[in-house]
Amino acid sequence: MNRRLALDKPRQHELLVLRLALALTALICVSSGRAEDHVIGTRGSQWNPIVAFIDAGDSVVFTGMASHETELVAGLHPEGAPAWGSELDEEGFRVTFDQPGAYIYKCHVHLNAGMVGAIVVGAIEPAHLSAIDAAVAMLGEERRIVQRIVARMKREIDRRARN
Would you say 94 or 155 has its CB closer to Cu ion? 94
Among 77, 106, 110, 154, binds Cu ion (CB under 5 A): 110
Among 40, 54, 73, 115, binds Cu ion (CB under 5 A): 115
**Interacting residues of 83 by C-beta distance below 8 A, sequence separation 6+:** 71, 72, 74, 77
Question: Looking only at residues 16 through 75 of this chain, which bind Cu ion when binding is defined by CB under 5 A?
Answer: 68
| Secondary structure (3-state) at 124 | coil
**Whole-angstrom Cα distance, residue 6 to residue 10?**
12
Would you say 110 or 154 has its CB closer to Cu ion? 110
Among 24, 109, 134, 151, binds Cu ion (CB under 5 A): 109
Q: How far is the CB of 53 from Cu ion (least distance, A)?
A: 22
CB 102 within 8 A of CB 118: yes
118: contact with Cu ion by CB under 5 A: no
Phi-psi region of 44 (alpha: psi -120 to 50; beta: other; left: phi over 0): left
Instruction: Tell me which residues touch Cu ion (CB under 5 A).
Output: 68, 107, 109-110, 115
